[in-house]
Structure 1
Amino acid sequence: MASLLKASSNVFRSEKLPFLSKGKTSQGIVPKKAAFRLVPVALSLSTSTGTVQHDQKSDSPDIAIPIMVNGCTGKMGKAVIKAGDSAGLHIVPVSFGAEKESGQTVEVCGKEIMVHGPSEKESILASVFQEYPNLIVVDYTVPATVNDNAELYCKVGVPFVMGTTGGDRDQLYKTVEESNVYAVISPQMGKQVVAFLAAMEIMAEQFPGAFSGYSLQVMESHQASKLDTSGTAKAVISCFQKLGVSFDMDQIQMVRDPKQQIEMVGVPEEHLSGHAFHLYHVTSPDQTVSFEFQHNVCGRSIYAEGTVDAIVFLAKKVKSKADKRIYNMIDILREGDMR
């Protein structure tokens, strides 16, 4: 199943997706009728210098785990800090950011976090890791920094959770594997979505060719700031391809226009700045049978909570001296002790 976890703007045109033009519900888009129709599998969730001063340390693997959230000025970084604070983790008041953010202080959950630019990264991380030997670093920065950040974490030897997508993923895995450090790397941190992906992969492995001859239409809608195609969509499509469906990744319909998201996709206006709506529509050659798979996520809490589970999981692996390797969300799901 590792493949689905490594799977890292076109203008929306309704004529390319005829089933999108027939109306909508609060869950999203209503497909055209067919002789047989499977009720959508819907996953809809709403949430709405070199000297560093630190607070008291903790040696507990489960409570007050010290975490350093890089990218704390971003929406995901803030969401993880809030979720971690709520779970009783200790937020180290230091973070990495862009050069223009260096020296800024960000307040999240009543905690002031100092942001440091690229030139200070190595000395700051070494200082924090020395102060907090049980430190777990969480990365929600930007795709352009993924590989450099991972190389630094590996050089210092600090365990980390990589939630940032993009970058050179093959190089990322190679760097971490060769460095022998603890890490959780996943392009999808929502554990329920990962469970759905795992089920799709199992079906593809056990029933190859089950959908031979069927056609596939895919729509994915995310906030306008997400410029790349959804890695989750690519992972699901790869499963359909194993099942016998012919589909090219460039056929994915990416929706990034807010007006279209409200009127045609059914995204609540309050979640335009943070959502993930996916629809996969499979149709038989004679158009008499159709299957629809849909998962809609509003807000970022599902990813933040999954990240906290990853942090706790990794801290336990470190304490138990388990194998130093790359873990993923499937490993966390299999552990079976998520909050």
Structure 2
Amino acid sequence: MKIALIGYGRMGKEIEKIALDRGHEISLKIDVDNQSDLTADNLKKCDVAIEFTIPASAIDNYKLCFEAGIPVVSGTTGWLDRKEEVYENCESKNGTFFYASNFSVGVNLFFELNRKLAALMSDRSEYDVEMTEVHHTQKLDAPSGTAISLAEDILNVSPTKNKWVNDKVPASNELNITSEREGQVPGIHTVKYESEVDYIEITHSAKSRKGFAFGAVLAAEFSAENKGILTMKDLLNL
């Protein structure tokens, strides 16, 4: 499979290693120094694109992939306020778009655990819920896309919380997400339910970027064989 890497930072380099190990070819690498090479003609020479850039450029990159007629796997976060626009553009071009706030297989199992715990706690009014996410200092968005996904799954079943907030003292109807940035932490996400007498806490802690990169390559392989709007739930049959 011929892969276009749009974004060749730390994640892009990790994805490249895993893709090559799995027998794929990196046919196009786009970084800040060669952005003029990101054209529909060059993309058409590839089977799939994996996009890890920044919110300001991501949507234009997606649309260019749709125009070129190749599937795109998106690992960029912070653009979801324009999600409907992207999905509509993909569908109008009969394209394929795979988005995940986190490509780690472990994190996606953690999402399932979070949903089950949230359902169990939905009628336990004596517990209040809060979240913490910790990432490296180079991470641009806060809270993380993974934290937002976790929070939204809690809000979907909570009888008392109807919105999430970031780094503030929450009102009774708000779920606070504390964002911490330190060192080279790949990602730690914690959901905590606390009462007067005890607390229940679940945590996922990434050891490195390798798990994210491996999941992104799996998503690229899956996207090359499937059509439409795809997610990790489709890939993992969750």
> Given the two structures, how large is their TM-score scaled by the length of structure 1?
0.61
Q: How far off is 1:164 after superposition?
A: 1.4
1:86 to 4, 21, 39: 21
**5+ residue gaps, structure 1:** 1-64, 103-116, 259-271, 318-323
Superposition pairs of residues 10-29 of structure 1, within 5 angstroms = none
Counterpart for residue 299 of structure 1? 208
- Letter of the aligned partner of 1:183 in structure 2? F
Q: How far off is 1:333 after superposition?
A: 0.3
The change in CA–CA distance for 1:232 and 1:212 in structure 2 (over 3 A counts) is farther
The change in CA–CA distance for 1:218 and 1:67 in structure 2 (over 3 A counts) is same
- Letter of the aligned partner of 1:147 in structure 2? I
The change in CA–CA distance for 1:312 and 1:176 in structure 2 (over 3 A counts) is same
Q: How far off is 1:196 after superposition?
A: 1.7
Q: How far off is 1:282 after superposition?
A: 0.8
Equivalent position SS for 2:206: strand
The change in CA–CA distance for 1:203 and 1:278 in structure 2 (over 3 A counts) is closer
1:139 to 31, 34, 51: 51
Counterpart for residue 232 of structure 2? 329
Relative contact order, higher structure (CA 8 A, sep 6+) = 1
Q: How far off is 1:297 after superposition?
A: 0.7
* Structure richer in strand, relative to its length: 2
> Aligned partners of 2:192 and 2:117: how far apart in 1?
17
Q: How far off is 1:172 after superposition?
A: 2.0
Contact 1:274–1:300, Cα closer than 8 Å, also in 2: no
**5+ residue gaps, structure 2:** 167-175
> Aligned partners of 1:138 and 1:214: how far apart in 2?
41
- Letter of the aligned partner of 1:179 in structure 2? K
Contact 2:43–2:68, Cα closer than 8 Å, also in 1: no
Q: How far off is 1:245 after superposition?
A: 5.2
Counterpart for residue 5 of structure 2? 69
Counterpart for residue 110 of structure 2? 196
Q: How far off is 1:330 after superposition?
A: 0.6
1:248 aligns with 2:157: no
Counterpart for residue 111 of structure 1? none
Q: How far off is 1:203 after superposition?
A: 5.2
1:150 aligns with 2:66: no
> Given the two structures, how large is their TM-score scaled by the length of structure 2?
0.85
Contact 2:77–2:144, Cα closer than 8 Å, also in 1: no
The change in CA–CA distance for 1:175 and 1:302 in structure 2 (over 3 A counts) is same
Counterpart for residue 121 of structure 1? 38
Q: How far off is 1:174 after superposition?
A: 2.5
Counterpart for residue 174 of structure 1? 88
State the 4+ residue runs in structure 1 displaced beyond 6 angstroms: none
Counterpart for residue 151 of structure 2? 237
Equivalent position SS for 1:298: coil
> Aligned partners of 1:293 and 1:184: how far apart in 2?
27
Contact 1:223–1:274, Cα closer than 8 Å, also in 2: yes
Equivalent position SS for 2:38: helix
Counterpart for residue 40 of structure 1? none
Equivalent position SS for 1:69: strand
1:96 to 7, 13, 30: 30
> Aligned partners of 1:234 and 1:128: how far apart in 2?
31
> Aligned partners of 1:184 and 1:240: how far apart in 2?
23
Question: When the two structures are aligned, how many residues end up with a matched partner?
Answer: 224
Q: How far off is 1:201 after superposition?
A: 2.8
